[in-house]
Amino acid sequence: MEIAVYVDEDGKLASLYQAGRALLHTRDSNGQWQKIREAPLQMAGEISIPVIKEALKHWVGQLGDCRVLLSAEVRGVLYSILQEEMGFHTWKSGGNLQEQLDNVERMEKAMAIQQEQALQEEKARQADESCKKKRQHGQGERCDDAAAPEPEQIGEGHYQIDLEAVLERDKALNSRNVLIPFMEKTLFQKLVIFCDHVPRWFSAKLEELGLGAEFEDVEGGLKVTVSPKYATRKIVG
């Protein structure tokens, strides 16, 4: 990952509204952050938006593919143009430079994971809606869910599934089409799910089906134990 750090003439973290330069950093073979090149920028006086955009375009060109900026500010016209028109992520942080770069890298990775999860969940939601429409028109009962493996029965009314392992084996699957069909159609006393995070749809679906859940941190992830809230509950379909 490359991160541009904007500094003033004294090498201190600065705002883009101050004359300064971006120091482009990346990790070396030892995992330490090293400067690989510089890109100067100067925004003096009150200048028009077209002039600002042209100056930023030239400056961004010197940064290559880097679209991550660490500076002393994250608000204002300059930052809005970078974020909305040029695809930048802009960050502020604390500590020494190495710590700040570490923080930005960590936040970037966390944001990428969240975006990927949101994308996958949106795809799953759309697939689920499509599946429901097919059911309504008699075009199949379970649609794509038929290919999803079901939890293993380990006792009377007791099931478990390693969701993370299932999704790792088959990238075409997602948490919705693995878990929802089973929870909708199966009477169980306990369903244990091993996963690395709780899907966003999970709580609402449990409430809809009259289920509750307990959560426990385990080595390498999370253990979720799902069970009925009431003596009887609705089965879908």
Q: Identify the weakest region by mean pLDDT among 35-49, 62-76, 94-108.
A: 35-49
Q: What is the pLDDT of residue 56?
A: 94
The 10s digit of each residue's pLDDT in 9-24 is 999 999 999 999 999 9
Identify which has the larger pLDDT, 150 or 147.
150
* 93 class by beta-carbon count within 10 Å (0-12 exposed, 13-18 middle, 19+ buried): middle
What's the confidence (pLDDT) of residue 145?
A: 44
pLDDT tens profile 154-165 = 999 999 999 999
Report domain extents, the chain: 3-92, 112-228
pLDDT reported for residue 148: 76
Predicted structure pTM score: 0.56
How far apart are alpha carbons 104 and 33 in whole angstroms? 12
Residue 171 has a pLDDT of: 81
| pLDDT class of 86 with cuts at 50, 70, 90 | very high
What pLDDT is attached to residue 106? 93
pLDDT over threshold 80, residue 1:
yes
For residues 12-31, one letter each, b for 16 or more C-beta atoms within 10 angstroms of the residue's C-beta and e for the rest, the string is ebbbbebebbbbbbeeeeee
pLDDT (average), residues 129-155: 65
What is the rounded CA–CA span in Å between residue 135 and residue 236?
Answer: 12
Greatest pairwise CA separation for the chain in angstroms: 76
Section 94-120 average pLDDT: 87
Q: What is the pLDDT of residue 112?
A: 87
